[in-house]
Amino acid sequence: MTGKKRIVVGMSGGVDSSVTAWLLKQQGHEVIGVFMQNWEDDNDDEYCSIKQDALDAMSVADIVGIDMEIVNFAKEYKDRVFSYFLKEYSAGRTPNPDVLCNAEIKFKAFLDYAMELGADCIATGHYARKLEQDGVHYLMKGVDQSKDQSYFLYRLQQHQLAKSLFPLGDIHKSEVRRLAEEAGLPTAAKKDSTGICFIGERPFREFLQRYLPTKPGEMITPDGKVVGEHVGLMFYTLGQRKGLNIGGSKDGNGEAWFVGGKDIPGNKLIVVQGHDHPLLLKPALQMDDLSWTLPQPPAAGDYAAKNRYRMADAGCSLSPIVDGKATLTFRDKQWAVTPGQSAVLYDGDICLGGGIIQ
């Protein structure tokens, strides 16, 4: 990037966005920090860190020498992200709200706000890269493969990528921590946040019960034998092992129990024994609600894909896209392919986009 730019940085109060702001300031750009308040229903409970995060972001801005604003996007978040989250869970699926938060809040509401401030572009602390070639913006994996976050950015379009920077894309996390320490940033040793953005560290089941009615039902084996009771289908995801509380079964084989499927109309949770039970292994998946990062959708053919964030790329073939739907057929069967999650397609290091698993 040549010449001095006006860049608005999304400041989360974490080490990654802190170093992002510091690096851009060091490069001579005019940097403005914005802390996004996306959630305000229960800011005062023991699990919510938003106040501390905002204070940390302000401390970093002070040290880096930049102005910072706190901007409330809670209404946009509730309308565009949280309502979808609740709808998917009530339908028995397992959504990924962080993917939607990037597409709808960080790279839409926040991007629009930054443009109103006269910004040339926005920057975030995501571990991803961007390559521009012949006017086309390619979303690329971050160099640090263990931290690569291109999966969460797959719904970004060309106009969003054109106005976005990812300064950490070429840096390893260990180097980011080192730079933060060297710069004297108070977030240098701050623990990375975990969990869904608005839920944070609070117990997930307790949180969901505030918003959705629970409907207990039977836990059954694939052949219909009742082995327990579930507390509500929305609290379980495919491949889940913890929290089933089935215990030993005299007809069981001694292996661990896993969630193998959901009978939504019958309100029954299907459980299986053994990590590699056939119900947990799928040769293909169907996806819709497709979104592609490049001007044209990818042609049918061989690619790699992730059907969840923490997994290695899996070789697959993409079917022709028909009526906004596509099928991925894998070379090796995939474990616990989960409806509602995102399947993301790659051509080498290029993130092509993807869709929602049906």
Active site residues: 101, 197
Tell me which H or E stretch contains 58. helix 50-64
Q: Is 10 a known ligand-binding residue? A: yes
17 carries a ligand binding annotation: yes
Amino acid at 194: T
Q: What span, in angstroms and rounded, lies between the C-alpha atoms of 329 and 314?
A: 10
Q: Which amino acid is it at 346? A: Y
What span, in angstroms and rounded, lies between the C-alpha atoms of 354 and 326?
A: 9
Q: 307, 230, 308: which is closest to 271 by C-alpha?
A: 230
Q: Give the DSSP H or E segment for 27.
A: none
Find the Cα–Cα–Cα–Cα dihedral 92, 98, 100, 104, rounded to 10°.
150
36 assigned to a ligand binding site: yes
16 is in an annotated binding site: yes
**DSSP-assigned states of every residue in 73-104:** -HHHHIIIIIHHHHHHHHTT----HHHHHIII
CA 152 to chain centre: 4
14 known member of a binding site: yes
Query: Binding residue per annotation — 13?
Result: yes
Amino acid type, 4: K
Strands 30-37 and 67-72: parallel
3-class SS shares of the chain: helix, strand, coil, % to 5: 25, 30, 45
Positive or negative, the CA dihedral 257, 243, 306, 174 is: negative
Binding-site annotation: residue ranges = 10-17, 36, 125
Binding-site annotation: residue ranges for ATP = 10-17, 36, 125
